[in-house]
Amino acid sequence: MKQTRLDTSFDASTSAEVIQTRGASVRFGERRLWSGVDLAIGPGTFSAILGPNGAGKSTLLKVFLGLQPLASGTVNVLGAPAGAARRRIGYVPQRGGFDRTIRIRGIDVVRLGLDGGRWGVPLSPLRARRTREAIAEVVDLVGATQYANRPIGELSGGEQQRLVVAQALVRHPELLLLDEPLDSLDLANQAAVAALVQRICRERGVTVVMVAHDVNPILPFLDQVVYVAGGKAVVGAPNDVITTETLSALYGARVEVLRATDGRLVVVGTPEAPALHADRHAG
Amino acid sequence: MTVTLFDYPFMVNALRAGTIVAVVSGAMGWFMVLRRQTFAGHTLSLVGFPGAAGAILIGLSPAFGYFGFCIVAGVIIAMASPPVGSALYSEESAVIGSVQAFALACGFLFVNLYHGNLNGLTNLLFGSFLGITNGQVLSLLAVAVPALVALGLIARPLLFASVDPEVAAATGVPVRSLAVAFLLLLGIAAAEASQITGSLLVFALLVLPPATAQVITARPLLGICLSVVLGVAVTWAGLAMAYYTPYPTGTFITTLSFAAYVAARGIRTLGARTGTGPAPMREALT
Q: Tell me how far apart the alpha carbons of residues B66 and B53 are, in angstroms, rounded to a whole number.
A: 9
Residues of A with CB under 8 A from a CB of B: 65, 67, 86-87, 89, 91-93, 95, 98, 102-105, 108-109, 112-113, 115-122, 149-151, 164, 167-168
Inter-chain Cβ pairs, chain A and chain B, closer than 8 A: 90
Q: What chain B residue is nearest to A95 in terms of C-alpha separation?
A: B166
All residues of chain A having their beta carbon less than 8 Å from the beta carbon of residue B34 are 102-104
Domain locations along chain A: 2-98+172-282
What does the H/E/C string look like for A128-153?
A: HHHHHHHHHHHHHHCCCCCCCCCEHH
Residues of chain A neighbouring B152 (CB-CB closer than 8 A): 120-121
What percentage of chain A reaches a pLDDT higher than 90? 63
- Structure confidence by residue, pLDDT tens digits, A157-185: 999 999 999 999 999 999 999 999 998 88
Please give the residue that has the higher pLDDT: either B6 or A277.
B6
Nearest-Cα distance to chain A for B94, in Å, is: 22
pLDDT in tens, A183-224: 888 999 999 999 999 999 999 999 999 999 889 999 999 999
Decide if A105 and B219 are in contact by the 8 Å CB cutoff: yes
> Among partner residues B152, B171, B220, which is closest to A108 by beta-carbon distance?
B220
Residues of A in contact with B286 (CB under 8 A): 105, 149-151
For residues A61-85, average pLDDT: 92
DSSP-derived secondary structure for chain A:
-HHHHHHHHHHHHTT--SEEEEEEEEEETTEEEEEEEEEEE-TT-EEEEE--TTSSHHHHHHHHHTSS--SEEEEEETTEETTTTGGGEEEE-------TT---BHHHHHHHHHHTT--S----HHHHHHHHHHHHHHHHHTT-TTTTTSBGGGS-HHHHHHHHHHHHHTT--SEEEEESTTTT--HHHHHHHHHHHHHHHHHH--EEEEE-S-STTTGGG-SEEEEEETTEEEEE-HHHHSSHHHHHHHHTS--EEEE-TTS-EEEESSTT-GGGGGGGGG-
CB contact under 8 A, A86 and B172: yes
Query: Which chain B residues are Cβ-neighbours of A160 within 8 angstroms?
Result: none
**Looking at residue A36, what is its pLDDT?**
93
Test the A interface: residue of B37, B151, B163 with most A CBs within 10 Å:
B163
B223 to chain A: which residues are within 8 Å by CB?
103
pLDDT of A230 reads 87
From CA A227, how far away is CA A250, in angstroms rounded?
9
pLDDT value at position A226?
96
Nearest to A117 among B155, B172, B214 (CB): B172
Domain boundaries along the sequence of chain B: 2-285
CA atoms within 13 A on the CB side of B212: 27
- Nearest CB partner across the interface for B171, out of A86, A98, A104: A86
The residue of B149, B164, B173, B281 whose CB has the most chain A CBs within 10 angstroms, and thus the best one to mutate to test that interface, is B164
Q: What is the CATH number of domain A2-98+172-282?
A: 3.40.50.300
- Tally of CB atoms within 10 A around B198: 25
The pLDDT value recorded for residue B240 is: 92
For the whole model, what pTM was predicted?
0.87
pLDDT recorded at residue B199 = 81
Quick check: A116 and B168 in contact, CB under 8 A? yes
Q: What is the pLDDT along chain B (286 residues), one digit of tens a residue?
A: 455 677 888 889 999 999 999 999 999 999 999 998 888 888 998 888 898 888 888 888 888 899 999 989 988 888 877 655 554 455 567 888 888 889 889 888 888 887 765 557 777 777 777 778 899 999 999 999 999 999 999 999 999 999 988 899 888 899 989 999 999 999 999 999 888 888 888 888 999 999 999 999 999 999 999 999 999 999 999 999 998 888 888 889 999 999 999 999 999 888 777 654 444 344 344 4
Question: Would you call A151 and B154 a contact, using CB atoms and an 8 Å cutoff?
Answer: no
Q: Report CB contact under 8 Å: B218, A151.
A: yes
**Chain B environment of A147 (Cβ under 8 Å):** none
CATH class name, domain B2-285 = mainly alpha
Report the pLDDT value the prediction gives residue A252, as an integer from 0 to 100. 83
pLDDT digits (tens, 9 = 90+) for A125-160: 888 999 999 999 999 999 999 999 999 999 999 999
pLDDT per position as a tens digit, A46-67 = 999 999 888 999 999 999 999 8
* pLDDT of amino acid B197: 83
**ipTM above 0.95 for this complex:** no
Element of type H or E holding B29: helix B9-34
Task: List all residues of chain B from 145 to 164 with a beta carbon under 8 Å from chain A.
Answer: 152-157, 159-160, 163-164
Q: Is B285 on the interface with A (CB under 8 A)?
A: no
